[in-house]
Chain A
Amino acid sequence: MSKILSADDLFALHLEQFGVEPVITGINASISGDLIERIIDALETGVPYTEQEIPEGALT
């Protein structure tokens, strides 16, 4: 059975694999409860997790 990781472990793996931490702008705040799943997807697909910039003057 695989070792149980913490959310911080996942962020460290992201940094190790991509050289950057996941970029969180807040645009996905309404689905931010699924952040861990999306970081795992990033690790598995090889595409770093980077949220879009928030349009000027917009709120989420």
Chain B
Amino acid sequence: MAADSDYADILERLADSHQERLSGALKTLEEDVARLMATAPIKEGKLFDLEWAVAARPKIRAALESDYLAEVDAAIRDYTKVSADASKMLSSYGDFSKLDQTAITQLQRLSFQGFEGVANEYLDVMANEVYQSTLTGRSFDDTVKNLRQTINGVYIESDNLEANRLVDVATNGTASQQADAVRKLQTIYARDRVGNNLRRYATQMAQDSLMQFDASINTAIGKQSGASKWKYYGSTIRDSRPFCVEHAGQVFTDDEIEETWAGSWKGKASGDPYIVRGGYNCRHHWRPVFDEEPEQEDETTTVTEQPTKQEIDVVKEVEFVSINKAGEKEITVSDFNTALNAITPIQMALIQRLPKPKKLVGKPQGGLYQSYTGTLTSGTERGGSVVRHEYGHHVDYMLGKEGLGFGALSENDFEFKKAFKMDRKALGLHSSKTKQAAMEDLLDELYDVKVVERGRYSVTKRIIKADELPNLSDIVDALTHGQLQKKYRVWGHGVSYYKEVNARYKEAFANLFALRNTPEWEIVEKRFPAMAARFDEIMEDKI
């Protein structure tokens, strides 16, 4: 086997062993925290002693340090051997310089700090849980269960033998056995996966930290030695990313790496492509290559194809959090990028110029934009339409901030508000005499009527004709101040929401933003010509 493949195997085995060791350490930590909690004063099954709750924090910290961080430290000491193995592997391909030991130690220190930062975050979570539960007189049992789940998610220990057996299966079984065990733990034993448990982060970090350390070592040695070509190598497994499958085994120049890694793909991590490689949990590596290198592997090829059309990484560098329950699809930043790449070039130029949201939250469905925190929450349902709608709100606010220093553009732009009122009047939605007929005419264009069966009920329902049309229906709802939704129970925000006058303009703007590059824009131009024209003027003026 080639030296780089041997080396990749060593790294993978080491990553697996680190993950296993950290999982063990977290089981110990869970037991130690439970033991600490057993010393808490309780009255009628509830915590009550705030002084004890405050004093618990340093004890939790001590447990984190002795159980978890001590194991992290031991794992990171293994990295010294990784750097020696990397040098040995590279020496079989040519003469490479050695990396200074100080740099290696510094990289190890940085790796440890990453784990330490997560530990500190979870110290806060656990100490707050104890204090708040004491303050509010929460059940002792619930508090202990929450603390256990904060550490190990569904993998917590218990007195129930079957639950413990399922934990074993969830840890060691095949993928389908694991999924089945997790589902049973959640449904039968009320285990909450708690997407953000320490075990989940720690095991992923065990992998990423080692692979990034290796990447730093190899890249530094290669650059120090004057390399300008790099081989992307490593085994491809069932769940390898298509990006990695496509590029594994290929040799790239620095420029080609910059160009290829500028694209977007599912699971991509932000950062230096030499370090983050294919993204989170990636098991591929770079090694420097020189032209005179002896041909060791048949699979080494030079990239000659033109890069395929790549998505623009619109929300690069924005903090991204995914919230999903077990069994639900995890939304990734790549899903957001895909949704946002379906807008016009003018819209794209505008969003690339404007400040990005501060935080993106992906969830299976729903949408929310909080301008004061810059947080955009969205699902990717209906072909990403919700993402584009919520991003429309963000653009509206960024334009408002840019022009006036506050608020959204749509609520302050005289011409846009005038266009809104003109379309309302032209459609006949402004007058009680014409409103109903106007609404029903629009409904006919947007909806089919069908009978739906659910449970013991059969109900006539208006079914939207296309995925993008809910945005159009909601514009009508805004124009009718929520009456469309209330009267016909169709897509829209409703009367309670549209009591707020400015919400009507803001939602209309966001809906137009989502619709602009869709085939349904023709209906927008036909039904809301004034708003469509003003929207386009704004986009063109502001890029």
In the complex, 23 of the A-B residue pairs with CB atoms within 8 angstroms, ordered by the A residue number, are: A2-B456, A5-B457, A7-B459, A7-B460, A10-B459, A24-B486, A25-B497, A26-B496, A29-B491, A30-B365, A30-B386, A30-B389, A31-B365, A32-B470, A32-B490, A32-B491, A32-B492, A33-B464, A36-B461, A54-B497, A58-B368, A58-B369, A59-B507
In the complex, which residues 25-52 of chain A have their Cβ closer than 8 Å to any Cβ of chain B? 25-33, 35-37, 40-41, 43-44
Q: In this complex, what residue of A is CB-closest to B396?
A: A59
CA distance A8 to B322 in the complex (A): 37
Binary contact track B474-495/A, C-beta < 8 Å → 1, others 0: 1000000000011011111110
Q: In this complex, what residue of B is CB-closest to A45?
A: B455
Contacts of A30 in B (CB 8 A): 365-367, 378-379, 381, 386, 389, 470
Report whether B452 and A24 are in contact in the complex, using a CB–CB cutoff of 8 Å: no
A18 within 8 A of B: no
Contacts of B370 in A (CB 8 A): 55, 57-58
CA distance A24 to B485 in the complex (A): 10
Report whether A10 and B457 are in contact in the complex, using a CB–CB cutoff of 8 Å: yes
Contacts of B309 in A (CB 8 A): none
A27-B368, A55-B368, A58-B369 known; A32-B493 Cβ under 8 A: yes
The size of the chain B interface, using a CB distance under 8 A, is 44
CA distance A44 to B457 in the complex (A): 10
Report whether B458 and A7 are in contact in the complex, using a CB–CB cutoff of 8 Å: no
B510 within 8 A of A: yes
In the complex, which residues 338-388 of chain B have their Cβ closer than 8 Å to any Cβ of chain A? 365-372, 378-379, 381, 386
Report whether A59 and B510 are in contact in the complex, using a CB–CB cutoff of 8 Å: yes
Contacts of B372 in A (CB 8 A): 57
B14 within 8 A of A: no
Report whether A37 and B452 are in contact in the complex, using a CB–CB cutoff of 8 Å: yes
B451 within 8 A of A: yes
Report whether A37 and B497 are in contact in the complex, using a CB–CB cutoff of 8 Å: no
A24-B485, A30-B379 known; A40-B457 Cβ under 8 A: yes
Q: In this complex, what residue of B is CB-closest to A2?
A: B458
B516 within 8 A of A: no
Of B378, B470, B490, B494, which contacts A24 at CB under 8 A? Answer: B494
CA distance A1 to B454 in the complex (A): 13
Contacts of B474 in A (CB 8 A): 29
A26-B493, A33-B491, A35-B489 known; A4-B460 Cβ under 8 A: yes
Report whether A5 and B493 are in contact in the complex, using a CB–CB cutoff of 8 Å: no
Nearest-neighbour CB distance to chain B for A51, whole angstroms, equals: 9
CA distance A35 to B454 in the complex (A): 12
In the complex, which residues 393-424 of chain B have their Cβ closer than 8 Å to any Cβ of chain A? 393
Contacts of A60 in B (CB 8 A): 366-369, 493, 497
Report whether B459 and A5 are in contact in the complex, using a CB–CB cutoff of 8 Å: yes
Q: In this complex, what residue of A is CB-closest to B492?
A: A32
Report whether A57 and B371 are in contact in the complex, using a CB–CB cutoff of 8 Å: yes
Nearest-neighbour CB distance to chain A for B350, whole angstroms, equals: 19
CA distance A55 to B151 in the complex (A): 30
Nearest-neighbour CB distance to chain B for A27, whole angstroms, equals: 7
Report whether A6 and B457 are in contact in the complex, using a CB–CB cutoff of 8 Å: no
Q: In this complex, what residue of A is CB-closest to B507?
A: A59
Report whether B461 and A7 are in contact in the complex, using a CB–CB cutoff of 8 Å: yes
**7 closest A-B pairs (Cβ-Cβ)?**
A26-B497, A26-B493, A7-B489, A30-B367, A29-B493, A24-B494, A58-B370
Nearest-neighbour CB distance to chain B for A21, whole angstroms, equals: 10
Q: In this complex, what residue of A is CB-closest to B460?
A: A6
Contacts of B285 in A (CB 8 A): none
Report whether A6 and B386 are in contact in the complex, using a CB–CB cutoff of 8 Å: no
Report whether A24 and B456 are in contact in the complex, using a CB–CB cutoff of 8 Å: no
A3-B458, A5-B458, A5-B459 known; A59-B393 Cβ under 8 A: yes
B231 within 8 A of A: no
Nearest-neighbour CB distance to chain A for B452, whole angstroms, equals: 7
